[in-house]
Structure formats: structure tokens, C-alpha cells
């Protein structure tokens, strides 16, 4: 056992939808500012780093919801010029 706190992947999943709501405040991808996009890219990197562990920790439906939220977040922070 380590002294490091363990992140609950179920908690990450529960908070993913709230994060999307908080980051966007109902705005479309075109309306997000550079700072919000940068924060979103950081969250995406964190989620991607955890994806294997999430796959082992959650059931199939929860994994699908996690992947859907990640895809939505990627779309939201995508550069509108792309």
C-alpha cells in the first residue's frame, strides 16, 4: 500500500458529465476561449492515461459512458479551424 491517494474511476466517470457542463456553461465548441480549451486538453490527457485502468474497473455500460464523455470533450476542445 502506498501513501498516495487512489482516484476512484467511478468518481471520474460521475464527474465527467459535470466537468463538461462546468467547462462549457452551455456554450458551443466555437464559443470556448483558449484557456478553457487548454484545460480541456489537460483533462483529456488525464482521462486517456487512465483509460486502461478504467476499462478494468468499470462495467461495460460505464466504460461506454466514459468513452462517450471523452469523445464529447475532444469535440468540444477541438480547434474550430481544424
Give the CA radius of gyration of the chain: 14
Whether 7 has a pLDDT exceeding 80, the answer reads: no
pTM of the predicted structure, to 2 decimals = 0.62
Whether 4 has a pLDDT exceeding 70, the answer reads: no
3-state secondary structure the chain: CCCCCCCCHHHHHHHHHHHHHHHHCCCCHHHCCHHHHHHHHHHHHHHHHHHHHHHHHCCHHHHHHHHHHHHHHHHHHCCCCC
- pLDDT tens column, 54-73: 777 778 888 888 888 888 88
Whether 27 has a pLDDT exceeding 80, the answer reads: no
What average pLDDT does the chain have? Answer: 73
Give the whole-number percent of the chain exceeding pLDDT 90: 0
Whether 1 has a pLDDT exceeding 50, the answer reads: no
Residue-range domain boundaries for the chain: 50-82
Which residues lie below 8 Å from residue 46, measured CB to CB, with a gap of 6+?
Answer: none
Amino acid at each position: 500500500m502506498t501513501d498516495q491517494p487512489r482516484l476512484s474511476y467511478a468518481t471520474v466517470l460521475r464527474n465527467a458529465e459535470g466537468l463538461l457542463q462546468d467547462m462549457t456553461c452551455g456554450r458551443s465548441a466555437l464559443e470556448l476561449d483558449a484557456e478553457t480549451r487548454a484545460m480541456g486538453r489537460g483533462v483529456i490527457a488525464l482521462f486517456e492515461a487512465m483509460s486502461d485502468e478504467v476499462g478494468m474497473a468499470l462495467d461495460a455500460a460505464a466504460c461506454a459512458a466514459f468513452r462517450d464523455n471523452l469523445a464529447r470533450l475532444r469535440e468540444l476542445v477541438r480547434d474550430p479551424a481544424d
